[in-house]
Structures are given as structure tokens and as C-alpha cells.
């Protein structure tokens, strides 16, 4: 809820123009639902993908105010973010609900970006792996190896979102390596190697290169820095 229509269009145009026709990494924008169609028009015919910030698990029905996978693909979405820490904390989303949404997203041919991460209290208590592991097991429950290979996992330490604090590259890599290992246990090592694991938590142009240079960090789920085209492009170029 940090932008309006004109700003969303301008941001999308700035990103699409700056990355050119053959960017070195995959790039996607996830605007608020009310601006998805506007941004879709801007990025049509460019390498920039379109994603939504959430979906509802049902295929249809009387769920006033909700948006499902079919609606998102209708307006050109390829990606959807699921289980973002703000939705878990503020809207009370559970791992089971994220899991339901995951199934709906995959059935609707969307690439889900499944978010996991610990609070500052969890980290200080030494519970990072326990919390993140529980979230992954619950959110990905019932997923087979074929479908698992196509998902994205985003590690977003809650204590580093919107706070200006960033996990050090070593801290981030440690958790990413744990996630990769757990995915290998849940599926296979080959599948785990195919799953992209993004880092999200105050990623900026100045720290992106070092973060993205870690062995198990495959990309970034960008928050505040994505609101300015120059900052976002700086992260893309650093990746």
C-alpha cells in the first residue's frame, strides 16, 4: 500500500525501459491487485514478469473481496507471493492456509513465491532453524517432486523487513543453506538445487552484490527499494 496508479505505471515503465530486451536475471513486479492490469499493459512484450502479492485458495464462490488464481492469470500474472511475513503476522495466516494457496497457485499455472522467516525474538532465542523449518514443512506439505522443482522460496527474516537492518551475507547464507538442505530431505538434492531461494530483508543496491554472491542465495524479494526504479534496477544489475 505504498503506491498509486500513476506511480505504479511510471515505476513499471522505468524498470522495463532500463533492463532492456535481455536482462541477465529474471525480473518481476508485484503491484497491488488494483494496478495489476495497468502494470500488465506496461510490461507486455518485455522480459519483465507480473506477479500478485497474494491470492485466495478457492477456485470460485462467495468470497467477497478475495482474488483467485484464475483471476490473476486473466490479467497476465505469472507469479504470486504467498505467506509474506506481514500477512502471517497481521492477517494471521497459518502454514496450512499458505499450503492451500500453494496448491491453488500451482493448479492455476502460477509460480508461487513462498515466504518464510523468523522474528527477532526467534533469532535471539536460537530458534531460527526450528521456526523456518516448521514453516517450510507446513507450507509445502503434500507437494510432489515435480511441482516442487518449479516453486520459489523466499527467506525474509522478519527483523530485517522495513527496519533498515539487513542480515549479514554470512547470516543469510547460513539460513539459505539450511533451507536448501531441508528441501533436499523433503524432496531430493536435485530438486533442491532447482528451487530458487531468494533473500528478502532490506535489500539495497549497496548490499545486493555481496548477498547475491552467496552460494545458496539465488535472488532477491525486494521491498522498499522496489518503490524507486533506480534502486530496483541497481539491485538487478548487482545480481
Q: Identify the active-site residue in 93, 118, 156, 173.
A: 156
- Mark whether 84 is an active-site residue: yes
- Mark whether 156 is an active-site residue: yes
b/e per residue, 107-137, with b = 16+ CB within 10 A? ebebbbbbbbbbbeebbeeeebbebbbebbe
User: What distance lies between CA 219 and its chain's CA centroid?
Assistant: 10
CB 187 within 8 A of CB 145: yes
| Rounded Cα gap, residues 153 and 96, in angstroms | 16
Q: Identify the active-site residue in 84, 93, 118, 173.
A: 84
Q: What are the contacts of 14-18 at 24+ separation with CB within 8 A? A: 14/229, 14/230, 14/233, 15/48, 15/229, 15/232, 15/233, 16/42, 16/43, 16/46, 16/48, 18/229, 18/233
The residues assigned a catalytic role are 84, 156
Amino acid at each position: 500500500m505504498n503506491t498509486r496508479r500513476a506511480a505504479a505505471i511510471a515505476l513499471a515503465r522505468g524498470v522495463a525501459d532500463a533492463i532492456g530486451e535481455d536482462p541477465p536475471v529474471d525480473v518481476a513486479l508485484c503491484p497491488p491487485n488494483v494496478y495489476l492490469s495497468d502494470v500488465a499493459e506496461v510490461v507486455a512484450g518485455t522480459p519483465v514478469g507480473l506477479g500478485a502479492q497474494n491470492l485466495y485458495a478457492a477456485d470460485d464462490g462467495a468470497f467477497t473481496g478475495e482474488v483467485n488464481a484464475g483471476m490473476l492469470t486473466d490479467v497476465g500474472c505469472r507469479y504470486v507471493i504467498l505467506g509474506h511475513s506481514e500477512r502471517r503476522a497481521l492477517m494471521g495466516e497459518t502454514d496450512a492456509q499458505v499450503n492451500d494457496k500453494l496448491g491453488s497457485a500451482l493448479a492455476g499455472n502460477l509460480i508461487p513465491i513462498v515466504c518464510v522467516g523468523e522474528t527477532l525474538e526467534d533469532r535471539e532465542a536460537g530458534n531460527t532453524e526450528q521456526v523456518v523449518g516448521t514453516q517450510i514443512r507446513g507450507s509445502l506439505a503434500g507437494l510432489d517432486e515435480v511441482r516442487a522443482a518449479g516453486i520459489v522460496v523466499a527467506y525474509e527474516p522478519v527483523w530485517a523487513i522495513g527496519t533498515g537492518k539487513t542480515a549479514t551475507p554470512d547470516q543469510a547464507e547460513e539460513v539459505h543453506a539450511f533451507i536448501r538442505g531441508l528441501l533436499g530431505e523433503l524432496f531430493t538434492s536435485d530438486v533442491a538445487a532447482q528451487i530458487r531461494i531468494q533473500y528478502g530483508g532490506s535489500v539495497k543496491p549497496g548490499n545486493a552484490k555481496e548477498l547475491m554472491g552467496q552460494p545458496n542465495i539465488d535472488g532477491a524479494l525486494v521491498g522498499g527499494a522496489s518503490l524507486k526504479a533506480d534502486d530496483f534496477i541497481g539491485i538487478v544489475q548487482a545480481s
